[in-house]
C-alpha cells in the first residue's frame, strides 16, 4: 500500500467535490490501485495556508465550521514545507491574462518534488512547456484533464491512446454556460432571464462576462491547441465574439428554421500556424453539434490518422470536474 500526502490549493466547490469523491472512492483506490491518502494541506483565501503533517479529518473539512488545525503557514513555501505533499491539487481562480499565481504555485510544487494536478486552464495556456519540462526533470507529473470538458478524457486520450497522431483541426461547443443560455433563449426566455437562470443553477458566475463574451471558450481552445497541436497559442490570439449581442427572437427563429445558433470553437493547423475562432454561428440540423442542448458539450477532432473523432459530455457538474482531478491523481502515482 502506498500512502500519499495531498495538498489542496483552492477549496471552493471543486475542492470540496474532490474530497467527497476521494472519500467515496477510498475502497476502490485501496483495493484496485493500492493507494491510500491523507490531506496534509488546505489553502484558500478564507482559511489561509493550513498544514497538518498528520492529516486533516476530511469530514471536518467538508462541514461548514472547519477551523484550521495544526500550522497556519505564512507563505506558499512554508506551507509546502509543512504539508510535505506528494500531490498538489491547484484549483485557484483562472487568470486568463497570464496564468498567475497558479503557475507559481505549480512550479513551486514540482520543484519541491510533488506531482501537480490542476483544473485551472491558466498554467496550461501560459506555461505548458515550462511546467511540462520541469515535471520531466523532477520525474513528476503535471496533469490537467479537468481543464476542458471536466472529466471527459481528452488530453489523456491523445497522450495514451493515440500515439503518433497529429491533430489537424478541432471544432466544437466547449462552453456549457453559453450553450445553456442559448437553449433557454430558444425556449422563450430573454437574454437576461436566461443568464439569471444559469446563475441560479450555479453554472454561470455572478459576473458571467467570461462565458458570454467568449473568453472561457477562447482559453479552452488555446489549451487544446497548445497541448494537442503543439503550437503555443494565447487566448488573446483567438478571434473571439461572444453571444451577448444575439437577439432572443433571432435565436428562436434560427432554431425554428432548422439553423440554430451555437457558440462554435474552431482551430485549424495551416502550414505550421493555427487559425482559431470562437463565434456564434448558425449550423444545420444535419450537424451533430446542432443537437447539443443545455449544459452539454461536444468536440470533434480531425487527425492525420482518424478522419473524425467526437467526444461529448452530457450535463456535467462539479463532480465531473472533480473526477478529472481524481483520474489524474491515479495516473500520476500509478506505476507505468
Return the active site residues: 220
Alpha carbon distance 159, 230 (integer Å): 12
The single residue listed with the C-alpha cell 514540482 is: 110
10 Å CB burial of residue 119 (0-12, 13-18, 19+) is buried
C-alpha cell at 96: 486568463
Residue 319 near residue 146, CB atoms below 8 Å: no
SS3 231: coil
Residue 19 near residue 329, CB atoms below 8 Å: no
C-alpha cell at 207: 459576473
Omega before residue 90 within 30° of 0, cis: no
Beta bridge mates, 143: 117
Amino acid at each position: 500500500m502506498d500512502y500519499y500526502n495531498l495538498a489542496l490549493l483552492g477549496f471552493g466547490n471543486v475542492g470540496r467535490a474532490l474530497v467527497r469523491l476521494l472519500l467515496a472512492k477510498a475502497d476502490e483506490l485501496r483495493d484496485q490501485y493500492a493507494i491510500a491518502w491523507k490531506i496534509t494541506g488546505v489553502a484558500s483565501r478564507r482559511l489561509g495556508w493550513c498544514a497538518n503533517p498528520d492529516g486533516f479529518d476530511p469530514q471536518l473539512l467538508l462541514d461548514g465550521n472547519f477551523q484550521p488545525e495544526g500550522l497556519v503557514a505564512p507563505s506558499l513555501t512554508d506551507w509546502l514545507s509543512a504539508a510535505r505533499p506528494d500531490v498538489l491539487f491547484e484549483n485557484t481562480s483562472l487568470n486568463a491574462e497570464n496564468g498567475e499565481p497558479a503557475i507559481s504555485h505549480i512550479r513551486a510544487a514540482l520543484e519541491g518534488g510533488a506531482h501537480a494536478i490542476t483544473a485551472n486552464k491558466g498554467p496550461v495556456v501560459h506555461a505548458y512547456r515550462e511546467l511540462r519540462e520541469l515535471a520531466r526533470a523532477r520525474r513528476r507529473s503535471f496533469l490537467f484533464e479537468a481543464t476542458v470538458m471536466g472529466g471527459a478524457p481528452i488530453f489523456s486520450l491523445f497522450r495514451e491512446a493515440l500515439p503518433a497522431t497529429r491533430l489537424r483541426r478541432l471544432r466544437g461547443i466547449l462552453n456549457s454556460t453559453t450553450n445553456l443560455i442559448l437553449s433557454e433563449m430558444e425556449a422563450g426566455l430573454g437574454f437576461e432571464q436566461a443568464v439569471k437562470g444559469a446563475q441560479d443553477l450555479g453554472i454561470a458566475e455572478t459576473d458571467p462576462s467570461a462565458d458570454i463574451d467568449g473568453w472561457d471558450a477562447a482559453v479552452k481552445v488555446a489549451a487544446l491547441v497548445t497541448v494537442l497541436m503543439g503550437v503555443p497559442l494565447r487566448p488573446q490570439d483567438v478571434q473571439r465574439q461572444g453571444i451577448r449581442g444575439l437577439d432572443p427572437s433571432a435565436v428562436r427563429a434560427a432554431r425554428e428554421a432548422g439553423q440554430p445558433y451555437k457558440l462554435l470553437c474552431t482551430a485549424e493547423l495551416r502550414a505550421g500556424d493555427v487559425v482559431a475562432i470562437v463565434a456564434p454561428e448558425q449550423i444545420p440540423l444535419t450537424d451533430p453539434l446542432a443537437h447539443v442542448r443545455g449544459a452539454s458539450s461536444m468536440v470533434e477532432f480531425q487527425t492525420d490518422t482518424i478522419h473524425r473523432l467526437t467526444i461529448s459530455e452530457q450535463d456535467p457538474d462539479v463532480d465531473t470536474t472533480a473526477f478529472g482531478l481524481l483520474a489524474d491523481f491515479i495516473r500520476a502515482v500509478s506505476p507505468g
